[in-house]
A and B are shown apart, each in its own frame.
Chain A
């Protein structure tokens, strides 16, 4: 009877495994989180320096030029791209994206899972749609000069993207999403402290999450 019991438990285990493997992309590496977090922290550091050196040291004031130009109707993408903070943001985003991709590709090579699978495509779409919508929304906010909402907006849309995407990858991503949402909502009541919240959310939370995932799934 005990042997039979073991067989059934094995069978249930197999079913569970197949359900997971067929619907989730689990090669997401913890190191990707750590890398993205590190990029975010260094980005925040440079942005902070920039703010301290330019205006009164308050994040809200940082874009008086931009704001003025948008009021005059002179707003242009070029003037936006000339802004140092925007340049830092773009560089930070790209380096975080690329470095996190690299670690995940390495991991999926090691575990022999294709990076371009149906599950990874599904994950990609589900994370991209909320982010893209958020991006357009935040872009409009910048054009209107409402800079105070940029950081909480980033956190909120990113949190939503993570909660949405967690159905298609490691379930733990959901908790990372919840914490980002909480931070973003909190930030709404501390407008002007955006960079601080942003650094915690995109920097420290990513590093903590990545470390935990690495310890749980990847350490040998």
Chain B
């Protein structure tokens, strides 16, 4: 199959999502308005520290935003995907699909 380098879908794959956990966090946030820390932890079945570090990575990329709040006296930190994050994730998805289709 013919394609030039600029069209190569591999170039559209996002490095930030090249990790099972970050990909998982993004996938979950794409279909939910917001998810709190504990629910994310249960979904991904990982430790607090591990989750926190990946969340930080996504936050620094500007893909998710953090909202700190309270339920009664307990802290409740929730996460949301940003518009930028949505765009980046969709681009990543399209690239994945293109790669699969191009090798079929």
B-binding residues in A (CB < 8 A)? 1-2, 4-5, 8-9, 11-12, 14-16, 18-19, 21-23, 114, 117-118
Total number of B residues with any Cβ neighbor in A under 8 Å: 19
Alpha-carbon distance between A15 and B21 when the two chains are bound, in angstroms: 10
Binds A, one of B30-38, B46-54, B61-69: B30-38
Alpha-carbon distance between A21 and B31 when the two chains are bound, in angstroms: 10
* B103/A23 in contact, CB under 8 A: no
Q: Which of B51-103 contact A (CB under 8 A)?
A: 93, 96-97, 99-100, 103
Among candidates A8, A9, A14, A118, residue contacting B27 with C-beta atoms closer than 8 Å: A14
Alpha-carbon distance between A127 and B58 when the two chains are bound, in angstroms: 35
Among candidates B31, B42, B96, residue contacting A11 with C-beta atoms closer than 8 Å: B96
- B interface: dominant SS: helix
Q: Which residue of A lies closest to B95 (CB)?
A: A8
B23 close to A (CB within 8 Å) = yes
Q: Which residue of A lies closest to B25 (CB)?
A: A18
* A4/B99 in contact, CB under 8 A: yes
* B100/A18 in contact, CB under 8 A: no
* B103/A118 in contact, CB under 8 A: no
* A8/B100 in contact, CB under 8 A: yes
Among candidates B32, B97, B103, residue contacting A12 with C-beta atoms closer than 8 Å: B97
Alpha-carbon distance between A22 and B100 when the two chains are bound, in angstroms: 25
